[in-house]
Amino acid sequence: MPGSPGSNQSISARLSELAQHLLPASHVAVLTGAGISQESGIPTFRGPEGLWRQYRPEELATPAAFRQNPRLVWEWYDWRRCLIADKSPNPAHYALVALEARIPEFTLITQNVDGLHKLAGSTRLSEIHGNIWQVRCLDCGRVGEDRRVPLPLLPYCPECGGLLRPNVVWFGEPLDVDILNQAQLALQQAQVMLVVGTSALVQPAASFAYWAQKAGALIAEFNLEPTPLTGQVDFSFLGMAGELLPQLVTATFGA
């Protein structure tokens, strides 16, 4: 495999090779995970300082946990919201905005709920796990943005007084069908797919690269370390997304 990390080609030579595929591509899909926001100062989920380390996800990110102890779940989300509130997009987020501007059919699928892609200016964006700045009423279903940090706990719906929950996808919950269909279409049509900063362990996103590959896309992965995908992809770049993605944009479209 020419682009594999084991080959002797330098990173810049392999980025140039990928750029030759990216430049003529009309349909490009990108999947991002927590790693793309790591350089913005937001801990990933499974890294050494991962967000899950002190907590068991099944205690916090499930509908059952919320029914049993909404305060504990909200305290955790409020803590994360406080952590994210003053963080800004980094060069990796902006590199994807630059790609969106140049590629006719570009779809950015993110597992992140931090809202940094939106803040950077990405618009062809699918937040498949929801957004931590949105709240949803358990009674009337109203979804709204609420950027208060800290939030008054527990938060209640301004319309009907029902209990609000974070508008994110929890373990055991399905993804929104329309959002998933949209993502699936983009993956089927993609000529090139970039997979950035995800451990590729959580389904269904962990399968997205395989879906795109099966439909004919060339896959390039950007991660600090190998993942279950690494052996299957056409290009694997081991390094910081905030350095590699801007280099890819320059290699493809010039400075």
Q: CB 98 → ligand OAD: shortest distance, Å?
A: 17
Q: In the bound complex, what is the minimum distance in angstroms from residue 109's beta carbon to ligand OAD?
A: 11
| Cβ 14 to ligand OAD shortest distance, Å | 16
Cβ pair 38, 112 in contact under 8 A: no
Residue 236 found at the interface with ligand OAD (CB under 6 A): no
Residues 157-176 that bind ligand OAD (CB under 6 A): 169
Pick the stretch among 96-104, 140-148, 151-159, 216-224 that binds ligand OAD (CB under 6 A): 216-224
Is residue 14 within 8 A of residue 3, CB to CB? The reply is: yes
Residue 83 near residue 147, CB atoms below 8 Å: no
Q: What are 42's two structure tokens?
A: 């937001």
- Taking each helix axis as running N to C, give the angle between helix 241-253 and helix 11-22, from 0 to 180 degrees, rounded to the nearest 10: 50
- For the segment 116-145, give every residue that binds ligand OAD (CB under 6 A): 129
Cα torsion 147, 112, 46, 242: sign: negative
Residue whose CB is less far from ligand OAD, 27 or 66: 66
Q: Using CB under 6 A, which of the segments 4-12, 32-40, 136-144, 246-254 binds ligand OAD?
A: 32-40
**254 vs 178: CA distance, rounded Å:** 36
240 binds ligand OAD (CB under 6 A): yes
Write each residue from 76 to 95 as x if it is in contact with ligand OAD (CB under 6 A), else as -, in one continuous string. --------------------
Q: Does 44 bind ligand OAD (CB under 6 A)?
A: yes
Eight-class DSSP state of 44 = -
Report the half-sphere exposure of 172 (CA within 13 A, side-chain side). Answer: 10
Provide the strand spans (E) within the chain: 27-32, 105-110, 125-127, 130-137, 143-145, 164-168, 192-196, 218-223, 235-238
Does residue 117 have an active-site annotation? no
Q: Is 30 in the site for ligand OAD (CB under 6 A)?
A: no
Of the two residues 106 and 222, which places its CB atom closer to ligand OAD in the complex? 222
My answer on whether omega of the bond before 150 falls inside 30° of 0, hence cis, is yes
Q: What span, in angstroms and rounded, lies between the C-alpha atoms of 207 and 211?
A: 6
Distance CA 115, CA 127 (A): 8
50 versus 162: smaller Cβ distance to ligand OAD? 50
List active site positions. 129
- State the residues that interact with ligand OAD by CB under 6 A: 33-35, 38-39, 44-47, 50, 61, 111, 129, 169, 197-199, 201-202, 222-225, 227, 240-241
